[in-house]
Chains A and B, each alone.
Chain A
Amino acid sequence: MSAVLTVENYTLDYRTGWGLRRALDAVSLSIAPGEVLGLVGESGSGKSSLAWAITRSLPTNAMEAGALRLGAEDLRTASPQQLGAIRGRRIGMVFQDPSTSLNPTIRLGEQVIEVLMRHRGLDRTAASAAAEAALADVELRDPAALMRRFPHEASGGEKQRVVIATVFACDPELILFDEPTTALDVITGARILDLFGRLRARTGVAALYISHDLGLVSRVADRVAVLERGVVVEQGVPADVFRTPAHSYTRVLVAAVPRPGHRLVEDTPPATTLLTATSISVRYARKRLFRPAPPAATHAVDFDIRRGEIFGIVGESGSGKSSLARALTGLAPFTGAIDLDGRRIAAMDRPYRRAVQIVFQHPDASLNPRMRIADILSRPLRLYGGDSAEVPRVLEEVRLPASYASKFPHQLSGGEKQRVAIARAFAAKPALVICDEITAALDVSVQAQVIELLLALRRAHGTAYLFITHDLNLVRQIAHRIAVMQEGVIVETRDAADLASPDAHPYTAALLAASPAPIG
């Protein structure tokens, strides 16, 4: 049977002010009917460019060579009319974030109905009934009520289901998924994947599944292609490609994927307590007259961190993880008590602020873009009794060349910026560093390097980490103990080793089940 999608020797360049920039280099791929091809690669590898090329939505500065065919039809020579009949009808696309890919001013129902009217020639009444059926097909409760709602009135999972319903409504031959679960919570994302599996079994649709998450791809794809800087370096069955990678880049990628069974930290921290948090409760928004108080972000959370310990906190977005980090650093008002080294911290004083440092998720937002790296690092040094002359030493500790001191943050890569943020935290010689999703915005290979750096710094300085993440596989590799948070409450705290034991809290078990299975 002939392929649904054929990409043959396809090369894509972007004309820029500095000449041509190659996005895809002689890419050849094909997807058979009913097949799911996973496309993995790190940011900048050209994954999304390929999706734009297939959907013919390239920017005007794109220059192409090679062939793109849907069935027997040449996509590159298709007229706008032909494209209008192909898009939405024969090729559907699911974007990463449903909250930006749905129009905020149009009711959810209308956004499904318009596709049915366009491609299935239905009148409004028939399309409305068909849309309701399509929403029921993606296992949404009460589709009729949902159709009347606007995107902001639905949850992320519901929105992504609406997008999927829209895509499946016209029975397409091919669906492009661009990281469809990245913007969702782990459990919600896992449910969306299960749904896709069922829909796929029923409709026999073919798909191109773009993702940076190897574990996820190995679960959904029949075949996988590895893209490195626009070149497909390896293709094959996921189990083979990931278990016995032939290309060095694939090996790097696979090695960087966190495996919970593979512990990176072997030592046991001493039993001396560094920090005790008692009944920490964070409440945002000021109290207002005649209004009920806003709900608390965290309710009376208790935990303790030992000297040199890596203490993990996991939970979905909105579970209160970051609020806790903000409370511990004095960035959010809270009630409750903090003891550091047996000393009750009544007010955030300088010794405490020095001892407890934080690294944020987005270095772009946490590094002042108008300050040079040297100035960024001098501040904590001078504030805590050091000297600007120590900047080269501090940079060296995070394995950045001393010459970076004169650079601005925008001249650095994402991983390098995060190293600067880590260097800034360590410049104060802290006893505890709070890491709030510090690798979430990084590629998997960069993430591995940053984690490795953190562990080396801990070996050198005996620093404790409060490691906040949604990545269970990662935290199980490095943490000594893990606290699981749900809706502002720590539901349980366990040794990392027996997180997966059968007597775990049901929510912990649900999180574990939803975490993409590691490769192999």
Chain B
Amino acid sequence: MPARWLIRRLLLVSYTVLVVSLLVFGITQVLPADAAVALLGENATPEALAAIRLRLGLNDPAWLQYLHWLGAALGGDFGTSMRTGQSVAPMMLVALSRSLLLAGFALVLMLCIAVPLGIWAALRQGKAADMVSGMISYVGVSLPEFVTATLLVICFADRLQWLPATGYIPPGEDFAGSMIRLVLPVVTVSLMMIAHVARMVRSEMIDVLHTDYIRAARLKGLSGQRVLLRHALPNALLPVITIVALDVGYLLGGIIVVEEIFAIPGIGRQLIIAINTRDLPAIQAGAMIMALTYAVANTIADMAYAALDRRIRYE
């Protein structure tokens, strides 16, 4: 992978993040939240409000405020939370690490189920097994996370009492307890994507199985297993990488809901708390971190695609 291509990709990511920063800052500007009022409370005197506005630079023109904010953000300083008085960035990063744990497990689980399911459906194209898996997939796609989460909680936590319903324990404290509490959230998040990715693997696989090179591989007398795993699968999975990367956006959205339902103090839950309490620095930091995660995930996917598909020219 040429260094120039990588550099160009990274520049693109920076550009994306810059645009997002403008949007985020712009939106927080028009929010009906006055930072000074939020800090001092409803009963503050006009003099005190004016003083703090001056100190925070709230009277400066918007572009100057933006530059100040961006400069500090580049150094990793998103300001102090109006709710807790603590620095926002470390708080959000800890939350992000919890969310990434959840997202990572969900992605792995999803791939472990979706890829074999897609291959299986492709090999039984048009037969009953394919139809059933297709139907299950569509049900999975059409059920929102809060419905699946509720169903899972009712079934496994309430009725069967196999798993705890909600809560979060850091893996460092009680590893087993931590993992047990992650099961339901991970399953909820991955279910939605399994359906999507399995359908994608299926249709790509069907296309690949009809190509000349698969026909040629069969006519070489290669075993069915080798034709499938060595010749067909890599070609079928290539486009799936892009879909999975796009699904990361989906995943981030799903995580916000799932964290709220299962009371996991991840980035999504922090963001919701920040919005509810009009904690402007926390909203900005949370939104920026989400955007950066999405951009980085897509860049990684592009790199993986380029590494696997030799035909990609680095343009």
Contact = CB atoms under 8 A, between A and B. Distances in A.
Contact of B219 (A87, A104, A150): A87
Contacts of B311: 104, 150, 152
B307 to A, nearest CB: 11
A447 interface: no
Interface in A143-157: 150, 152-153
A115 B222 CA distance: 7
Contacts of A101: 212-213, 215-216
Nearest to B235: A105
Contacts of A83: 221
Contacts of B234: 105
Interface string B200-229: 000000000001110111111111101000
Residue from B215, B218, B219 with most neighbouring chain A CB atoms (10 Å):
B219
A103 interface: yes
A118 interface: yes
A103 B221 contact: no
Given A150-B310, A152-B311, A106 B219 contact: no
A16 interface: no
A57 B213 contact: no
Contact of A84 (B223, B308, B310): B223
Interface stretch (A89-97, A241-249, A330-338): A89-97
B122 to A, nearest CB: 15
B124 interface: no
Given A114-B222, A115-B221, A118-B221, A104 B216 contact: no
Contacts of B224: 80
B181 interface: no
A86 interface: yes
A102 interface: yes
A87 B220 contact: yes
A474 to B, nearest CB: 28
B212 A88 contact: no
A166 B310 contact: no
Interface in B35-64: none
B309 interface: yes
A57 B215 contact: yes
Contacts of B215: 57, 95, 101
B221 A119 contact: yes
Contact of B212 (A85, A92, A97, A105): A97
Interface in A492-508: none
A57 B215 CA distance: 8
15 contacts: A84-B223, A87-B221, A88-B219, A91-B219, A93-B216, A93-B219, A95-B215, A103-B235, A105-B238, A105-B308, A105-B310, A115-B220, A115-B222, A118-B220, A119-B221
Given A87-B218, A95-B212, A118-B222, 9 more contacts: A87-B220, A88-B219, A95-B216, A105-B309, A114-B226, A115-B221, A118-B223, A119-B221, A152-B310
